[in-house]
Copies of this chain bind each other. A is one copy, B any other.
Amino acid sequence: MARYQAGLRTEARIVEATRDLLGEVGLEGTTLKAICGRASVQAGSFYNLFASKEAVVVRVVSEAIAAVAPEPAEDATVEDLVEAYIQFIQGDPTLAAVYTEIAITGALNDGPMRERIARHHRQRLEIFAGAVRQSVPGISPKNAVTRAELLLAALHGLAFHLALEPDFDFAGLARRVAEFTVS
């Protein structure tokens, strides 16, 4: 949408404001008014750059997803992947919770976002299964996928628990899951 420098800068401000708000007050608190207020922009300017409020939220969440799995990482170990997951969750817990919320409720437009999340899951599953195959030499490909699926499920569940109890020892248990998986 934006063509001129001014437009590009406001666009960036809006995206940043949205990311900050999602991380601080969650999806519910990230209203159009709040976004525009923090970005020092009026509603009219916002809609000159974005088709809807949903659009900017989708963009922020998509960027967060992309950031957590930057490359296929061919030779990553299970431990590496678990550490990356820990980083993602602990780096911005509220944004991680928003991700879960969107996935669960289909809060956004049902269509594109959910498909994106599902695709992201499949990609991650493949990478995790590769790492499991590498870490457990004798394992069958099918069993590796199953173990990867269980590992990911456990990590998601632990993240859920963390959202519920902020003092929860998420990292410690996540590492225990990794041990179990490669044993």
Q: Which of B28, B153, B157, B177 contacts A107 (CB 8 A)?
A: B28
In the bound complex, residues from chain B placing their C-beta under 8 Å from that of A153 are 153-158, 160-161, 173, 177
In the bound complex, residues from chain B placing their C-beta under 8 Å from that of A107 are 28
Binds B, one of A38-46, A56-64, A66-74, A113-121: A113-121
In the bound complex, residues from chain B placing their C-beta under 8 Å from that of A154 are 150, 153-154, 157
Question: Are A176 and B146 neighbours in the complex by a CB distance under 8 Å?
Answer: yes
Question: Are B105 and A27 neighbours in the complex by a CB distance under 8 Å?
Answer: yes
Interface of A is mostly: helix
A97 within 8 A of B: yes
Which A residues between 77 and 127 are near B, CB-CB below 8 angstroms? 97, 100-101, 103-105, 107, 114, 117-118, 121
A164 within 8 A of B: yes
A138-160, CB under 8 A of B: which get 1 and which 0?
00000000100110111111101
Question: Are B176 and A150 neighbours in the complex by a CB distance under 8 Å?
Answer: yes
Whole-angstrom CA separation of A30 from B137 in the bound complex: 50
Question: Are B28 and A118 neighbours in the complex by a CB distance under 8 Å?
Answer: no
A15 within 8 A of B: no
In the bound complex, residues from chain B placing their C-beta under 8 Å from that of A76 are none
A180 within 8 A of B: yes
Q: Which residue of B lies closest to A158 (CB)?
A: B153
Question: Are B156 and A160 neighbours in the complex by a CB distance under 8 Å?
Answer: yes
Please give 11 more A-B residue pairs, beta carbons under 8 A apart, in addition to A146-B173, A153-B173. A27-B105, A28-B107, A100-B104, A101-B101, A104-B163, A104-B164, A121-B164, A149-B161, A150-B176, A150-B177, A153-B161
Could you pull out 8 A-B pairs where Cβ atoms are within 8 angstroms?
A101-B101, A104-B104, A118-B164, A150-B154, A150-B173, A153-B155, A155-B157, A160-B160
